[in-house]
Structure 1
Amino acid sequence: MLWTLVVPLKPLAVAKSRLAPAAGGLRPGLALAFAQDTVAAAADCAAVRDVVVVTDDPEAGAALAALGAEVVPDEPAAGLNAALRHGARRARAGGRPVPVAALSADLPALRARELQRVLEHASKHGRSFLPDAAGTGTTLLAASPGHALRPLFGGASRAAHRASGAHEITAADVDSVRRDVDTAEDLRAALLLGVGPHSATLAGMQATAYTYSSETRSGSVLLDDGTPVPFDAAAFDAGGLRLLRPGQRVRIRTEGEGGDRRVVFLTLQTFPDPV
């Protein structure tokens, strides 16, 4: 069974509002990066036929269309559940018996194989859902052919979906499909799982300390692919560090590409990010 996924995304200017205290001006960019990594991983899943993104944001629409998603405007403009019903109708236009699943747009650590396991479980039921990592919300709601999606997202949606008769998916080892991001704490948890490239560029990626001078508080790190990237005293100070030993695992955020790439901050794995 090949699924059509419906991914809703608010306009970037208002998306991920609970990240605002920690992310500041990075918040719209993070919202887009989360969606890009979500859509890219979903499109790479062997159980997914296509991805429909429902959004009125032109920047997000263009970026996600470049990843192969079909982008449709949020014509109802009546909230999340209305947008999901609209996307499901678009997927099933003309009476096509298409299995449809609503997927959260803020799953930056999403793994295609884990999503495939969830959808394989969903294919055994008429309607089914996967609770989020917090255990109160929902990150995926699926409807097999012949069954309406009937989304009930918002607030305690786990209880709402269960009360509606949807089967709760309890598959193991699908943490990346459950890890949505609303707060800085959520983002740190996603980073520990390992986020996709778009989110990693903005929110931080893992590296290994390579060189360090205590006199200049500068040095370099090695990315996991072996690429050396320099950091200066400002990047070192931004991470709240006092000392750094070559060989230590660190978390970094970078800007630029190729030879112009530089570290904006670096910190130890056990330290919180200056998100």
Structure 2
Amino acid sequence: MPRRAGREPVTAFAALRWVVVVPVKGSNESKSRLASFPLSVAERRDLALAFALDTVDAILRAPDVLAVVIVTNDPASAAALAGLDAAPVRGGGKGSGRDAESGSAKALGRGAVIDAIPLPLRAGARDAGGAFGRGAEESPLRVEVIPDAGSGLNAAIADGLRFARGSWPAAGVAVMTADLPTLDTADVVDALGRAAGHPRSFVADADGTGTTTIAARPGEPLRPLFGGASAARHSAAGLVPLDVPLTSSLRRDVDTPADVAAVASGALGPRTAELLGRVTDAAL
């Protein structure tokens, strides 16, 4: 059978499992591009955290995801995101039973006991369990938090990738942005399945200029080039653009008030939906 153009055979990688790195900005940096949106600074910070919680929650529900590595310098974000380990993970996304039981109340409740970093906040999860370390079937601990050294977004992501590869050397690694509040687990599964067919790959945002995801199979070098027109830079660096549908929630990142308005009519994650429900109609 002839090989499909632009896609390698995936037989050896059909069962590939993944560790996903998610960079999360500190509270003072959270969604500065939403400054023109009629929200207070605290509300913008809360909105950015809701985005991140809903994004990571959807990623964790993907059966091929072993763990999520959060890179942040913000203790509140670290605590809330680490708290997702305490929430039930039933599998599936919004289209397959995602519900509010794993919502921010439980996550933030767990986080109340973590009032400061040093990080890594969740180190030591891989002291047993074979090639991938301790698997999800052995422990609910699937979120690791490591510090953002403050050297910029791509440096933080690179630190997360080094941590992921050192901890799970047999896994593929991916990076997903933290601003995907409509993210559906089915779209995560689809993209990672496509990524298994290429040594290195990326997913462009809905405009085709930015990047929401980069991925690499085990042992493949992966240099993050996020920021601005990053899709062109990732392509020039040899990453293959994945043929993810334009309708995929993985392509719907939120950077501007117009983006907020666009996703507000969609299937939002429970934390984002609850917060936006408190915003006046005039704000949208």
Do structure 1's residue 135 and structure 2's residue 205 form an aligned pair? no
1:197 is displaced (CA, Å) by: 0.7
Structure 1 unaligned spans of 5+: 204-252, 255-263, 268-272
Number of matched pairs? 210
Does the 8 Å contact 2:206/2:246 carry over to 1?
no
Partner of 2:265, secondary structure, is helix
Which residue number in structure 2 is paired with residue 61 of structure 1?
Answer: 78
Q: 2:25 aligns with which of 10, 19, 31?
A: 10
Which residue number in structure 1 is paired with residue 217 of structure 2?
Answer: 144
Pair 94,35 (structure 1): closer, same or farther in 2 beyond 3 Å = closer
Residue 109 of structure 1 aligns to which amino acid in structure 2? T
1:174 is displaced (CA, Å) by: 5.1
Q: Calculate the aligned-residue CA RMSD, in Å.
A: 1.5
Q: How does 1:107-126 map to 2 (within 5 A)?
A: 107-126=180-199
Which residue number in structure 2 is paired with residue 161 of structure 1?
Answer: 234
1:95 is displaced (CA, Å) by: 7.5
Q: How does 1:176-255 map to 2 (within 5 A)?
A: 176-203=249-276, 253-254=277-278
Alpha-carbon separation, structure 2, partners of 1:151 and 1:14: 20
Q: Which entry has the higher C-alpha Rg, 1 or 2?
A: 1
Percent identity reads 46
In the TM superposition, structure 1's runs of 4+ consecutive aligned residues that sit over 6 Å from their partners are none
1:127-181 deviation per Cα after TM superposition (whole angstroms, max 9, x unaligned): 0000001210000000111112211111110000000110001122652101000
Does the 8 Å contact 1:101/1:149 carry over to 2?
no
Q: 1:52 aligns with which of 69, 78, 92?
A: 69
Q: TM-score when scaled to structure 2?
A: 0.71
Q: How does 1:29-108 map to 2 (within 5 A)?
A: 29-68=46-85, 69-75=143-149, 77-93=150-166, 96-108=169-181
Q: TM-score when scaled to structure 1?
A: 0.73
Structure with the higher fraction of residues in strand conformation = 1
1:38-71 deviation per Cα after TM superposition (whole angstroms, max 9, x unaligned): 0000001122111000001000000000012211
Does the 8 Å contact 1:115/1:174 carry over to 2?
no
Partner of 2:36, secondary structure, is helix
Residue 111 of structure 1 aligns to which amino acid in structure 2? D
Comparing both chains, which one has the higher relative contact order based on Cα–Cα distances under 8 Å and sequence gaps of 6 or more?
2
Residue 63 of structure 1 aligns to which amino acid in structure 2? A
Residue 40 of structure 1 aligns to which amino acid in structure 2? D
Residue 145 of structure 2 aligns to which amino acid in structure 1? V
Alpha-carbon separation, structure 2, partners of 1:190 and 1:110: 10
1:189 is displaced (CA, Å) by: 1.5
Alpha-carbon separation, structure 2, partners of 1:10 and 1:129: 21
Does the 8 Å contact 1:4/1:48 carry over to 2?
yes
Residue 176 of structure 1 aligns to which amino acid in structure 2? S
